[in-house]
Structures are given as C-alpha cells and as structure tokens.
Amino acid sequence: MTTTPDTAVVQANANEPIVDSLIFGVGPLIDDDIEAVSFTRTLLRCNTAGSFYIDVRNAGSSILYDIDISLALDADLTFVQAWPAPDSVVGNVVYWQLDSLAWWGLQHYRIDVVVGPVGSSGLATLDVLFGSTGELITETDGLETVTCAYDPNDKLVLPIGSGVHHAVPIDQDRLDYTIRFQNTGTDTAFNVLLIDRLSPHLDLTSMEVLGTSHPLSHIFIEDDRELNFRYDNILLPDSGTNMSGSNGYVRFRIRPLPNAPNLTEILNTAEIYFDYNPPVITNTTLNTLVDCEAFTATATDLGAGLLEASAGESYQWYESGIPIDGATQRELVAGASGFYSVEVTNEYACELLSEEVQIVISDVKETTGVRMAIMPNPMTNDARVIFSTPLASTAYVELIDINGKALRTIQCGLRREVLLQRDGLSSGLYILRVQDGKGSFATQRIVID
C-alpha cells in the first residue's frame, strides 16, 4: 500500500449495503515480468464473416515496453477490418505496435475476416514479441479445413487431452476454458448471461479470466459452484443483421484440485441465456486426470520364441534397448536369442516400458532368418500366423496335410502376419510351410481341433 493511512473505517447497513469512492494506492514490492496472451475466435463458417480476438496482458508488476503484434492469416481468409486499427497490413499479415503496457494492463483486439469456401483453410498464427523482455509468444487458432455446418454456441477446453478419455497428466496445472456464443435470433440481445457449473474437482479460488469479447458487468461464483458471467446492455446484434458482430466469448482458466485420484473425470457444460429466452446448453467437455505411474506394461514369453505385450493402443518392441523396425504389433516372434522389452501406449496415452524378457532359441539356428509362430495352436476356427520380420513380396504360406498334399495357399505380400481360417478343414494334424519361390525356409506343425 502506498497511501497513508493504509486502512479505512466504513459503515454499511441494509439501506446502504455498498460503500464506494474509497481510493487506495498500491505498488509492487518486487518487479516481475509476466507476459500473457489469449488468442481465440468465433466459429468459422464457409463464405461468411468471422472474427479473431487477441488479448495481450501484463500479469506482472513491471511495465512492458515495445510490444510487436502480428497476425498471419491463411490465404483463404480475407481481412476486413480490426479494432484498434492496425498500424499496417502487408499481404495477409496484420501488424500492431504497442509502446507500453502497465502492470495489470490489458489490450484487446478484434479482427474481422471473411472465411473461404468449403474445404479451404481457416488458420491464423499470432506472434507477440515483448521487446523489453525478449519474450516471444506464438499461438495458432482456426480450422485446417473449413465446413459449413456448425453449432455457434459451444464450450472448448485446452488442453483437449489424448484419446477418447481426453487424458491429461494428474498434475495438470490449469484447464483453459472458452465459452462462445452467438445471437442467432431475429433481434438485438440486450443482456447475455453465461452460467458454468464448475466440476467439484476444480479449485474455485484459482479461477482467472483471460479474455472476453465484450466488457463484463458482473462475475461471481454461487455457493453451488455456479460461475456466472453477466453482460448487461451488451446490445448484441442478431446474426442476420451483423454476422461477425453477433458473436461473443469469454475465456478463463482454473486449476484442478490437488491430490485428485487417478482417472478423475472433469466434466464441464455451460448455459447461455439471451435476455429472457430459454438457455442454450453447450456441449460437455471432458478431461481425465491420469497418473501414468499407476500403470505397468508386461512382455510375456508364450514359448517357441513368441512374445505378447499387455493390452494397449499401440506397441514398439525392443531388443537389448534398441527399437526393432516394424515391430509394432502386440505379439512378436523373436528372430534370435536376446533380451526383449516392449513399450505399450495405453488408452490414456501413457507410454509404459516393460521389463526385459530373455529369449533363448535353441531349436533353430539364428542364421535361418525368419521365424514363425501360430496363435492359437491348436486352433478351432482361425489362427494368426506371425513372422519375426515382414516377408518378401513373393512369399506365401502353404497348408499341407499329412499326405503331403497342399490344401491352401495364402499370399503374404510384405506382411508380418496372415490369418489362417478353417473353412471346412477336418480336425487333425497339418503342416504350415513358408516359401518364397526359391524354396521353403520355415515350417511348423498346426493342430485343428
């Protein structure tokens, strides 16, 4: 506090519950440079107007100087206008120069564009260079491929997360949410209210607004964790009158609560009220907090040089710590004696490395090259025939009965695996023989139950 005295005594009562006009001076105890940039957009629809929004903030306690801002639009986006007006526009790049930004300062920019046809590109790249600190922040937003159909009122979260569970690390610092809204009615919306019912797994005290398209009238959180953003007298035109002007957004971030259990799901849905109309309900975002240390991967020796990894989404096998080219299936036929391990990526995007398994091959010389395994053996309806390396394009598998008659031929064609189907074969003992046109180089017995 820089004012003297640094306290004030006020009286509030039911008739006068709010006391204002109290002025206090504050100053930083420590100079700290904290640059912050928020970059978002309206929904971009083919052959219509849209907008990008930039918020440059000084979140530190020292003045930032010489800030250069540039926005590069894809060739399929047509620049229309911007507020504040740019210092220059060269081709499809828009430039601003900001002399200084006081601590806690915010500079907001809106850029209107016309979107290209279906299938065009709708990306924009923002560069903000803070000259006094040398910090460069780059962000990209938009659409790689423009479409026409869309829901203009939606909810976004960053990071999106991996896979169907939208997995993020258990110690994820913050989740960044954006609520986008558009007046698709037939008249001006005078007031807009956004209600976001925050997950019980989020820390309410950490909520921070990063940017907004219009000045906020009120922000408050109810006792039931209902986050409210009010825009009184926003005068939001309808989309038929002003397409780009009919859009708005608010962007905020918030921390997950610490010590959340593994696989905690954080769901988030917003309600958008235009004047006295029923609410528009957005989509629901999902993030799953994942502790990858809670999972393990295993490599199991099934015999005859056949290895199987624990279940996952993708695999990479190693021999003595060196990746084996093309060995990306759940099973592996070891081509030689050695120490084998597997990296399994599970459904939560955790990359898990198994312990090494020693394989000793004594029944076949290691110099014979390709090895073969059959799963299951005996088989009932079908069996997978797996090879230690991809076969040559000329290679094929023959199924031979006990009389030496070739019953079936399966072309391999550069594959590591083929499927043998029963298709009327009688129960009994058969021989599988791999050939490449120059002769047989691998054989194995198979039993059909």
Ranges of each domain in the chain: 35-143, 154-290, 295-359, 369-448
pLDDT (tens digit, 9 = 90+) per residue, 225-260? Answer: 999 999 999 999 998 898 889 999 999 999 999 999
% pLDDT > 90, the chain: 60
Please write the tens of the pLDDT for every residue from 180-226: 999 998 899 999 999 999 999 999 999 999 999 999 999 999 989 99
Topology at the third CATH level for domain 35-143: Immunoglobulin-like (2.60.40)
CATH match of 154-290 with 2.60.40.740: yes
Cα 147 to Cα 337: distance, rounded to the nearest angstrom: 54
Q: What is the pLDDT of residue 274?
A: 96
Q: How far out from the chain centre does Cα 323 lie?
A: 27
What letter does residue 305 receive in the DSSP assignment? T
Q: Which CATH architecture has domain 295-359?
A: Sandwich (2.60)
Same fold, 295-359 and 369-448: yes
How many angstroms separate the CA atoms of 129 and 90, rounded? 18
User: How far is 94 from 149, CA to CA, in rounded Å?
Assistant: 28
Q: Confirm if 92 and 77 have CB atoms less than 8 A apart.
A: yes
CATH of 369-448, one of 2.60.40.10, 3.30.420.40, 2.40.50.140, 3.40.50.10420: 2.60.40.10
Element (H, E) at 315: strand 314-319
Mean pLDDT of 291-319: 92
- pLDDT, one tens digit per residue, over 319-362 is 999 999 888 989 888 878 899 999 999 999 999 999 999 988 76
**pLDDT tens across 27-59, in order?**
666 667 788 899 999 888 888 889 999 999 998
Give per-residue pLDDT as tens, 150-173. Answer: 678 999 999 999 999 999 999 999
